[in-house]
A and B are shown apart, each in its own frame.
Chain A
Amino acid sequence: KAGVTQTPRYLIKTRGQQVTLSCSPISGHRSVSWYQQTPGQGLQFLFEYFSETQRNKGNFPGRFSGRQFSNSRSEMNVSTLELGDSALYLCASSYHTGSTGELFFGEGSRLTVL
């Protein structure tokens, strides 16, 4: 079965702009989680969606938001970009609401903010 698909793979933005990243989970998976990965901070949890509802949220400012559609696809948005938002954004899906911790990750969207 097809894996988790993230688009775009790479993008460059400037400070103050906003960005939307997309994630298509594995078919049948209803939970989608988003993580930010940076060299200094490792994998930081952003939020989790299950059946179109946000189930859990990490410690990120309100500029970071997300949503999930009825087909389980998810998007995350970052508004008013800052240099420190440069990172690899990873999406992960699972069948249940992350109850087992067994996540299937996409290849990520690498965001560079100039």
Chain B
Amino acid sequence: QQQVKQSPQSLIVQKGGISIINCAYENTAFDYFPWYQQFPGKGPALLIAIRPDVSEKKEGRFTISFNKSAKQFSLHIMDSQPGDSATYFCAARVTSNTGKLIFGQGTTLQVKP
């Protein structure tokens, strides 16, 4: 069964700190791993994504680390800001002609000023 497990469920970080969210997957038939940020009442917004042939990708304060052998990937938010407070979802795209995304359960991040 294709699953993506995400942890922690919730996270509280002080302003300026590093937020780390982890995901693990159980099926190798994935070819793309995006992270989405969702604010209350809004749709998920694509934040950053990585392909499995790359071990790390950085865009501004956001970095994805990818460990193919361990089937794990993580999102690091450097210098976390109160405006980063949102729910974050990791996802994995099924290798097929559907582009189907399997999402993790989400992590609610609160950055305290």
Partners in one complex: no
